[in-house]
Structure 1
Amino acid sequence: MTPPPRALVTGASAGIGRLYAQHLARTGHALVLVARRADRLEELAASLREAHGVDVEVLPADLASDGGVQRVVDRLRADPLVDLLVNNAGYAVRGRVAELDADATDAMLRVNVLALTRLSIAAMGRMVAAGRGRIINVASGTVFMQMPGNAGYGASKNYVMAFTRTMQAEAAGTGVQVQLLIPGVIATDFHEIAGNAIANFPPERVMSAEDLVVASLRALEMDEQVCIPSLPDTADWDAYVDAEKELVVNVSRDRPAARYHA
């Protein structure tokens, strides 16, 4: 009997990660759930086992710590049945650069950047060797914005975007799918934790976490590498990429542009 596909989801105890776990369980995936709060993971695991009869493993880990990241890296490397990694864990520390809490920003970058990188390396290495697998890396719509007070978080998600797009280029022809997910404002407790409130956003700009996850998983089925769930026309993303290509032509020349010559 062929074992069911297995997905490892980070940040699984609440919000977007919890919805990924629920939808993947509903479609028959076994799960490895990662988050700091073991009690929340156990509650979710019990409900998923009862509702869907799937195998659910709880893996408590603080992805801001080296030890926590290593636990998840070891789990990814040890299990060839994990064929989907959802790199969802992340949070925002906000404030103007001159006033940022440096230690809090460092901890955020450990989760948003370093943990995602190390888990991607572990998963990509094993999946490429196996010739199959799927990775979803969650960025943010703020990658397209320069908002005062958002330098640290926005930059961390720009890293996710750049890192993931290069992963996609390297994954070509290997049998591994890599999705870059770029959510907008999502109705979770993310904003309250970051010191904002979902009520501060116009309702027409706020998407449910369920709709986001459904779009992401559908995009995976469609082999759509970049999923911006509320984007009406993917030609807008293509135009963004084409604009980059125009810059590439002139970003490295043998002399400065004419305007720099007095």
Structure 2
Amino acid sequence: MNALATVLITGASSGIGAIYAQRFARRGHDLVLVARDKDRLDALALRLHEEHGVAVQVHQADLTDAADLSALETRLREDHRIGVLINNAGIAQSGGFVQQSAEAIDKLVSLNIVALTRLAATVAPRFAQSGSGSIVNIGSVVGFAPEFGMTVYGATKAFVLFLSQGLHLELSPKGVYVQAVLPAATRTEIWERAGIDLNTIPEVMDVEELVDAALLGFDRREPVTIPPLHAEGRWDALDQARQGLLSDIRQAHAAERYQP
């Protein structure tokens, strides 16, 4: 019997999710792979079982569908073998804000924010009660870069970062590890699905390198892992500046520059 926690990965049929599945299978973890494309999930599950001898279950789901999301929540709530949640499923945005349809915005927010939050909220009480477990949320550096022009997508990823930081503060004292992983441009199918030509992006990281770096951060228990950030001090300085800003906020009165 496998004593390691089972890892549930959303968006596991390709890209970042599939590489996470390979890496955790290599480490000896049983897996639950979640995505819409069952054929690709089945093929990946069979290969990982044959190569690593781990148990791999497939859970077909469209996480923008209310019934599918609810069914996955039930599984996460009831299957106590699942001790690691990789919240990877997401979609990108092509075009500016004025070009987004209501349907496109709804789908983007439903997958990148609502599904991710609900799945984290489903496992958090169980993890906190047991004093163990890990939640990994895949964000993006676009979440703090409005200059990149992907306004709705960036806003969803800013939410993922804030949520992860808040969960870290709330859950880490209870023994639960929460990690936000912030990639930059990574060579996956998300671009093609969004109608974006990857060849127009000058620098793109290979997905294997991205996941391996993210897992180093996971092993080190980093709250925020930014694989493409080469000057680590930049993130520390940003966080210190944020805390300094908070210390200068006085709630009782408006600042002098706003006084009549």
Secondary structure in structure 1 of the residue aligned to 2:94: coil
Would the aligned equivalents of 2:109 and 2:156 in 1 still touch at CA under 8 Å? yes
Instruction: State the distance in 1 between where 2:148 and 2:229 align.
Output: 24
Q: In angstroms, what is the RMSD of aligned CA positions?
A: 1.4
Instruction: State the distance in 2 between where 1:210 and 1:134 align.
Output: 21
Amino acid at match of 2:219: E
Secondary structure in structure 1 of the residue aligned to 2:146: coil
Query: How far is the alpha carbon of 1:59 from its aligned partner?
Result: 0.2
Distance 1:164 1:187, change over 3 A: same
Instruction: State the distance in 1 between where 2:205 and 2:109 align.
Output: 25
Amino acid at match of 2:106: D
Stretches of 4+ aligned residues off by more than 6 angstroms: none
Would the aligned equivalents of 1:10 and 1:34 in 2 still touch at CA under 8 Å? yes
Amino acid at match of 1:213: V
Equivalent residue for 2:116?
Answer: 116
1:224 pairs with 2:222: yes
Instruction: State the distance in 2 between where 1:60 and 1:42 align.
Output: 10
Secondary structure in structure 2 of the residue aligned to 1:207: coil
Query: How far is the alpha carbon of 1:219 from its aligned partner?
Result: 1.1
Instruction: State the distance in 1 between where 2:14 and 2:148 align.
Output: 28
Equivalent residue for 2:32?
Answer: 32
Distance 1:153 1:260, change over 3 A: same
Instruction: State the distance in 1 between where 2:194 and 2:175 align.
Output: 37
Would the aligned equivalents of 1:96 and 1:148 in 2 still touch at CA under 8 Å? no
Amino acid at match of 2:236: D
Would the aligned equivalents of 2:33 and 2:41 in 1 still touch at CA under 8 Å? yes
Would the aligned equivalents of 1:36 and 1:61 in 2 still touch at CA under 8 Å? yes
1:253 pairs with 2:251: yes
Equivalent residue for 1:211?
Answer: 209
The worse-fitting range, judged by mean Cα deviation, of 166-175 and 113-122 is 166-175
Would the aligned equivalents of 1:179 and 1:227 in 2 still touch at CA under 8 Å? yes
Amino acid at match of 1:247: L
Instruction: State the distance in 2 between where 1:249 and 1:94 align.
Output: 38
1:141 pairs with 2:159: no
Q: Identity rate of aligned residues, in percent?
A: 39
Query: How far is the alpha carbon of 1:238 from its aligned partner?
Result: 1.2
Instruction: State the distance in 2 between where 1:132 and 1:221 align.
Output: 14
Where in structure 2 are there 5+ consecutive unaligned residues?
A: none
Instruction: State the distance in 2 between where 1:49 and 1:99 align.
Output: 44
TM-score calculated relative to the size of structure 1? 0.95
Instruction: State the distance in 2 between where 1:186 and 1:76 align.
Output: 28
Deviation digits for residues 146-169 of structure 1, max 9, x if unmatched? 136411111011110111100000
Secondary structure in structure 1 of the residue aligned to 2:173: coil
Distance 1:86 1:32, change over 3 A: same
Instruction: State the distance in 1 between where 2:116 and 2:254 align.
Output: 37
Query: How far is the alpha carbon of 1:65 from its aligned partner?
Result: 1.1
Equivalent residue for 1:241?
Answer: 239
Equivalent residue for 2:6?
Answer: 6
Instruction: State the distance in 2 between where 1:111 and 1:235 align.
Output: 32
TM-score calculated relative to the size of structure 2? 0.95
Q: How many residues align?
A: 260
Where in structure 1 are there 5+ consecutive unaligned residues?
A: none
Instruction: State the distance in 1 between where 2:5 and 2:56 align.
Output: 12
Equivalent residue for 1:174?
Answer: 174
Instruction: State the distance in 1 between where 2:83 and 2:121 align.
Output: 14
